[in-house]
Structure 1
């Protein structure tokens, strides 16, 4: 376990996109105040307004709308649409905070969707959206007190940037605040989509943070998908994250070694559920299998779920069926979550995806009193 670094501000510093051969240049793009601001709330609090259900879409349009940002009401939710001048676009849902779309500009001059989402009917007849990019966090304090988030209660606090340079949404968590304060920055650039979470511990005792950013990347089939850059990285086999936004094929629950934990839900991800008090010692032993990646271009054909404990800062997911790739870069997180549903599903269908994301699962983050921790994922587009 490592002490979390203290961040003096809320500004992410993603590097510009890496060249196609995978080398990340040292030049950084800093989101400074001198950049043009689209709209900024001055009188009425956007937090108070956007919390009302149904969300006040007219207020959001009036306060934050611009040539690069628009708002569309869908039931009790609102879709925030961002679009750069070069055509790259992304969408995010409020209050859920789920990033449902990222369409970067491609080598052929058009845009292509790289995130995988599904829309299903909920228990009350409502539309339920899953997949995309979401965050799941767990916080444990002294005495075992805990709290958790699954990216389902966020409000728009601020919006910065311009369609020419970048668009940045600042979200604030509206869940329980008895332990921590949580903010999230979602940033769209011409060749980047960033997700940064900032956690502040206002208390007088240390906290233990666990969780991950989970990205469902759409592929033609996992058989045509390859993880590039993991050779030599150690991993441990663990259960896939099951949250409100995750997509897990039903046949996973049919397997003996997967059934018990696939139904545990979100709590099955975190260390408190690994202490064998649930009577699943045999399953825990099997899932704790360790290994080392021996292929620098690993095909993701088989069903697998791994946490890489010493991964490189950058990973490329290449899909030969769609002829594109996505580069993932992480910051703040020491581990990497990789999940494949396997290739025994329909091409370009519901389970044609792979999951990746920076994580703090096996080695939680220790956040001291008054400390601030920042963890981030950046999706780069190398296809220009």
Structure 2
């Protein structure tokens, strides 16, 4: 099955592009000719390869001006600026929160289920460009392949459209033994202020306090994400997060993210043993009331949804607020048998225009 066939199930129009298969291994050229070679092989209208401070970057721009930036060496999406209003020059807004140290943005996280350390996890430190494709200049796509993941064959496909972007992962086990993985696509989304930040669409879902997966892109470490907030910042009606392993139900239509939370929305493990059980919705909306922007996050393949907000800790990183969210499989690891593959994807879409 083609690498992007997963996306064709429910991605927004236009039709998803199918990357061309690549039988031969791509040899990474020297730094001095790296971007020039990429442009010769994969460059086309709307897809540009460049270098900044020794980091190779792919820049994608579709016809209406929506754009994204992707660091090639670590598959890190550091910028997504869609057109969100009809103004000619300033109709674009940065969606992602990325620090000067290149933390945040959108990152793919894959950890072995029996290991919580970054040193022994799946090594995602080096990627190569495997293919690129376009449909006119209304849909663009770059396909990356990880060269440092051992017996795992990992393909990561980043797509840009006029009103959406998508990131999809395909993991194949080329080893002789099954592998158990915890994985997520975590997006750090920018918001103008704390009080106007929320998520809509999770009413009725069960959740529990859970630290995020360890990642090279994390702004808050797992321990910092679940550390109780300073009592000096408590406000009327605020209740502290429950301890890990204690399940609650989202009663209200809005999940207010003014204070610190770190949650997994999904079904408790004991419920998953039943023939039928409730799963989180396939999509939900992030709300940035300060900028009057709404974005839908769509999950495919993943069993859970991760949501976190930094609360008062955000002031360490600047005036703007941010949240971290995305599809995840954290509580019950996925098992990939030898010769088999697993697929998952996230789409961020909007109709702010």
TM-score, with structure 2 as normaliser: 0.82
Q: Distance in 1 between matches of 2:344 and 2:225?
A: 31
Shift of 1:9: 2.7
* Aligned pairs (5 A) from 1:10-159: 10-11=3-4, 12-13=7-8, 15-17=10-12, 29-32=15-18, 47-49=26-28, 52-53=30-31, 56-109=34-87, 110-120=91-101, 129-139=102-112, 148-149=121-122, 151-159=124-132
Find 1:356's aligned residue among 300, 325, 329: 325
CA contact (8 A) 2:11 2:347 kept: no
1:229 to 1:49, Cα distance in 2 relative to 1, 3 A:
same
* Aligned pairs (5 A) from 1:256-275: none
Does structure 1 residue 287 correspond to structure 2 residue 244?
Answer: yes
State the match for 1:225 in structure 2: 197
Does structure 1 residue 300 correspond to structure 2 residue 257?
Answer: yes
Shift of 1:189: 1.1
CA contact (8 A) 2:213 2:222 kept: no
Paired residue total: 321
1:300 to 1:254, Cα distance in 2 relative to 1, 3 A:
closer
Shift of 1:374: 0.4
Shift of 1:164: 2.5
CA contact (8 A) 1:135 1:150 kept: no
Q: Distance in 2 between matches of 1:362 and 1:185?
A: 25
Q: Residue by residue, what CA displacement relative to the aligned partner does 1:88-118 show, whole Å, maximum 9, x if unpaired?
A: 1111012011001111111333111101101
State the match for 1:373 in structure 2: 342
Q: Distance in 1 between matches of 2:140 and 2:86?
A: 24
State the match for 1:181 in structure 2: 153
Find 1:322's aligned residue among 291, 304, 307: 291
State the match for 1:124 in structure 2: none
State the match for 2:184 in structure 1: 212
Shift of 1:288: 1.9
Shift of 1:13: 1.5
Does structure 1 residue 9 correspond to structure 2 residue 5?
Answer: no
Find 1:197's aligned residue among 169, 189, 214: 169
Shift of 1:147: 5.6
CA contact (8 A) 1:221 1:346 kept: no
Deviates more, 1:109-118 or 1:245-254: 245-254
1:357 to 1:205, Cα distance in 2 relative to 1, 3 A:
same
Q: Distance in 2 between matches of 1:93 and 1:321?
A: 29
State the match for 2:276 in structure 1: none
Shift of 1:230: 0.2
CA contact (8 A) 1:330 1:358 kept: yes
CA contact (8 A) 1:330 1:378 kept: yes
1:195 to 1:254, Cα distance in 2 relative to 1, 3 A:
closer
- Segments of structure 2 that go 5 or more residues without pairing to the other structure are 231-241, 267-278
Q: Distance in 2 between matches of 1:87 and 1:350?
A: 27
SS across alignment from 2:17: coil
Does structure 1 residue 246 correspond to structure 2 residue 227?
Answer: no
